[in-house]
Amino acid sequence: MPQRHSKNNNDLAFFTYEEKRKLGYGTQRERLGKDSIKPFDACCLCLKPLIDPLCCPKGHAFCKECILECLLAQKKDIKRKLAAHEAQKKLEKEEEEEKLMLQKSKELDAFDQQNHGAVPQYHDRNDSEDKNGFHGANSVKVTSFEEEALRNMKAFWLPSATPEASAKVEAPSTDTICPEGQEKLKLKSLFPISFTEEKTDQKSKRGNGRPAELDLFRIQTDVRRRLALLGAGALATGLLKSSSAYAEGMIPEVPKNYKSYVDANDGYSYLYPSDWRDFDFLGHDSAFKDRNVALQCVRVGFIPTTKTDIRDLGPMDEAIFNLVNNVYAAPNQIPTVYDMQERTVDGKNYWTFEYDLEAPGYGVSAFATVAIGNGRYYTLIVTANGRRWSRLRNRLKVVAESFKLSELSA
């Protein structure tokens, strides 16, 4: 018999060189082109150029719409798994109760059989058993449960009678994860980024020979509340100057990026961002909101009162804490008051304060200004989502401090 070639010899106890080469043993080398690597400014989900980019703490960048869709889908999946787990726990509890009932029923039947076993048994002429079929203390009676079990007994050799194996659902994790890094990720941990192109003169000065793509962009992270609070002292000076200018009437024109709203019939006026639009807010006299984010809004309302000044409500800190805790906060919200100040404009006193309302899953931050005049108690509240507050805080404080009362027109 002729010797078989090594390429066709497959009955050996070890792999030949040809077999190893076909199976991919050893180091695999391949040159990757530029299309094999994701661009720096591409979303990790849709792989397209970033639109409204958000970044996770690990540095993975996503489009805002893509990551919100991903996290929302994860939350829906977690909710579905939790519901399935709860249904399984309920079913297991019902099965356990049914087993206990069956056990008690068997004990009662055994007790009943033992008691009837002492009664003499009677047979007819044909030596047949009595109709109950008892034969003394050791007799066995088929109970209704056993008859039902015999009728419904599963047969593993018949496909139609094969029992279905129930898959056990484990308790799912309630944490959403980053689709790129697989670590825990919450919506509030995402922060926006912006890309800035390097100037041509900076490029010429660099001259380090590196690819332009590596030095084309730099990430500018958006500071959150911590940095805003740290810089509050520096910002307070400019804000106080602007509020005093309003008080003295030294700014005849409306500041840039703001519009003024004047209600001469009800005796008040204030500024609001120029890109906001008016809308109807139940129980309020006037309201404006952001065109895209409904939580960013300003609203003014008033109620009749017999008091003549805001100081008639009592000490400022005590009155504001009672107002936020008992009026502004819902039962499921935790209120926190950060800052409060009093200002006087044209002989009228105003209280302006900042507060947060935290609830499971979301938070709202706001400035409020309250004042009393014209026989009315006025309230202006300007709010924003807790995650966007650090970016909008200074802009919205101008709105709160611009609120001013005037005499009612005839």
Strands ordered across the beta sheet of 297-304:
276-278, 286-290, 297-304, 376-385, 362-373, 348-359, 334-345
Mean pLDDT across the stretch 305-326? 90
pLDDT-derived band at 173, boundaries 50, 70, 90? confident
Q: Is the CATH number of domain 225-405 3.40.640.10?
A: no
Question: In sequence order, what are the residues at sequence separation of 6 or more whose Cβ sits closer than 8 angstroms to the Cβ of residue 395?
Answer: 273
- Is the confidence at residue 7, as pLDDT, over 60? no
pLDDT, residue 268, reads 93
- Rounded distance between C-alpha atoms, residue 276 and residue 195, angstroms: 26
CA-based nearest residue to 380, from 277, 243, 251, 281: 281
How high does pLDDT run on average in the chain? Answer: 76
* b/e code 16-45 from CB counts within 10 Å (16+ = b): eeeeeeeeeeeeeeeeeeeeeeeeeebbbb
The model's confidence at residue 20, banded by pLDDT at 50, 70 and 90, is: confident
Terminal CA-to-CA distance of the chain, rounded, Å? 122
Is residue 216 within 8 Å of 380, Cβ to Cβ?
no
Q: What is the mean pLDDT of the segment spanning 263-291?
A: 89
Q: What is the mean pLDDT of residues 248-261?
A: 70
Residue 164 Cα distances to 67, 96, 155, 179, angstroms: 39, 19, 11, 34
Domain boundaries, the chain: 14-222, 225-405
Which tokens belong to 358? 């935290």
Q: Inform me whether the pLDDT recorded for 230 exceeds 50.
A: no
pLDDT in tens, 76-90: 998 888 888 888 888
Residue 24 confidence (pLDDT) above 80: no
Report residue 64 as tokens. Answer: 């805002």
Mean pLDDT for 158-171 is 62
187, 387 Cβ separation under 8 angstroms: yes
- 332-360 pLDDT per residue, tens: 888 989 888 999 988 899 999 999 888 87
